[in-house]
Structure 1
Amino acid sequence: MGLANERAILPRYQTLSAEQIDAKAADDVVTIADHEAEAILAEGLAKLLPEAAIVGEEACHADPSLMERLSDDLCWIIDPLDGTNNFAAGKPPFGVLVALAERGETIGGWIYDCLSGRFCHAQIGKGAYVDGERIYARPSGENPPIAAISLVFADPDRREALKTGIAPHYTCVDIPRCAAEQWPRLALGINDVSIFERTLAWDHAAGVLLLNESGGKAARPDGRAYRVEEHLQKGLIGASSPALWDELAARMALI
């Protein structure tokens, strides 16, 4: 991850020309740094575990059939530059996300902050770590709890329901438009809860594992575990404690 950052990402930060930024969809861009970083990461991961499939965000954009590999016996999942809109605008946060899944269940996750060098990782059943130190999720202690609610990919009715049925119960803060930043915030006592509408595997596989392994809770609103092959389904809740998760899920069931 550090190699991809040093070779492909940081040299492009705040130096991108217009022709090095392309629109993938409305309000969603990709840059030359995304493509270069994914190539570096894919090459390195293939050497580490040759038997594993590799599913990268940009490769899937070019060939959506690659998503079928998410349920393989082993699968690397790559977001080579998460927070690309921020990166393209020349501002933080942005990072790199890598996860390893076994038959749809995430068993390893790595989150790298490109500017600070903060490195989060988690392994199923073995805890969560930041820069080598084990972490334990903790609420912010604020009352009302701090919520970061992603409305970007919600349809108008859903957006209004979240604004009227959920937001008044929390102190709402802006989302960073970067899962590589949002998930650590939940584990490190900065935010208490988050709601995600879009749940793509490269955005969330590593973060869900990090939060769950740190003692917080991330799951579908109905309580089901997040599985990477179901990443086109909508709806995901993360919370810094199981109690805060239960409280938010109960409210969401009413809207």
Structure 2
Amino acid sequence: MTPDALHSAIHALLRDVSQRAILPHYQTLADHQVTAKAADDVVTVADHLSEELLAEGLAKIIPGLPIVGEEAAHADPSVMDRLSGPCWIVDPLDGTRNFAKGKPPFGILLAMAEGGECHTGWIYDVLTDRFCVAHRGKGAFVNGEKVHARPTGEALPVAAISLIFMDPARREAVHGQVSPHYRCVDVPYCAAEQYPRLVLGENDVSIFERTLPWDHAAGVLFLNEAGGKAARPDGSPYRVDDGRKGLLGAASPPLWDELAGLMDRLGA
């Protein structure tokens, strides 16, 4: 299958799954259709149905390629072992917290990886049909147009700092060290929105604590291929099979360097 044919097939699949599994439940969820997955996380019937339909569709696009889905991995942690080889990585409904409250943003994240490295990624906005694509070494695209990451140009760079998964002491330390140097804005609680914001001139830098592969594989590739930078705080590349915490994203390498320097003072 050619890259263009693959992208067309993926776009069609994401649209179909959105129409069948996600949008019918948007702003119509009953209480029993939302359950707690963890103290700080929820899952809905739309998440489960979307992952089921995506798995069926992906198996038709590339038969036999293993799938690492967020909900499957939650139910069976051994699914994560598939990350060491060729695989799909699926977040069937990114931004579930927002979706469950009946508000945007939310989307679908999909990636292909091999040997722990993501080589192709897709970020889909269910409500707007925005379709972001990235190929390793080939660039980043939004709705078929090649894009280049651009800073906001504001006097104080704009920072979206995700503090939710940090312990209280670290949260306070990060906020105290970083926030004076930026204009801090609310995070969207949705990686499918946060990475495009770094590329499209809305945000300059982001800090992520939890770095699960379905949340970050596609976004990291998209930002890096657009000419921005996403990497571990020590500068090492993000790998989907690396369970460490901590990830920094920026609209340009100089902005990344400035943020990494601030974080280094915390021993991050």
When the two structures are superposed, what TM-score results if normalisation uses the length of structure 1? 0.98
Please say if 1:42 is aligned against 2:55. Answer: yes
Specify the alignment match of 1:26 in structure 2: 39
Moved over 6 A (4+): none
Specify the alignment match of 1:247 in structure 2: 258
The equivalent position to 1:225 in structure 2, one of 227, 237, 243, is 237
Q: How does 1:1-255 map to 2 (within 5 A)?
A: 1-72=14-85, 74-230=86-242, 232-255=243-266
SS in 1 for 2:172: helix
CA distance in 1 between partners of 2:109 and 2:78 (Å):
21
- Quick check: 197-206 or 48-57, which moved more? 48-57
Aligned Cα root-mean-square deviation (Å): 0.7
Deviations 1:96-140 (A, max 9, x none): 000000111000000000111111010101000000000000000
Deviations 1:122-162 (A, max 9, x none): 01010000000000000000111000000000011210111
How many residue pairs match? The answer is 253
CA distance in 1 between partners of 2:120 and 2:61 (Å):
14
Aligned amino acid, residue 240 of structure 1: A
CA distance in 2 between partners of 1:195 and 1:37 (Å):
28
CA distance in 1 between partners of 2:167 and 2:102 (Å):
28
Aligned amino acid, residue 244 of structure 2: Q
How far is the alpha carbon of 1:51 from its aligned partner?
3.5
How far is the alpha carbon of 1:53 from its aligned partner?
1.2
How far is the alpha carbon of 1:27 from its aligned partner?
2.3
CA distance in 2 between partners of 1:102 and 1:70 (Å):
7
- Listed as ranges, the gaps of 5+ residues in structure 2 are 1-13
Deviations 1:153-178 (A, max 9, x none): 00112101111111111000000000
Same amino acid, percent of matched pairs: 67
Deviations 1:181-218 (A, max 9, x none): 00000010000000000000000000000000000000
CA distance in 1 between partners of 2:92 and 2:53 (Å):
9
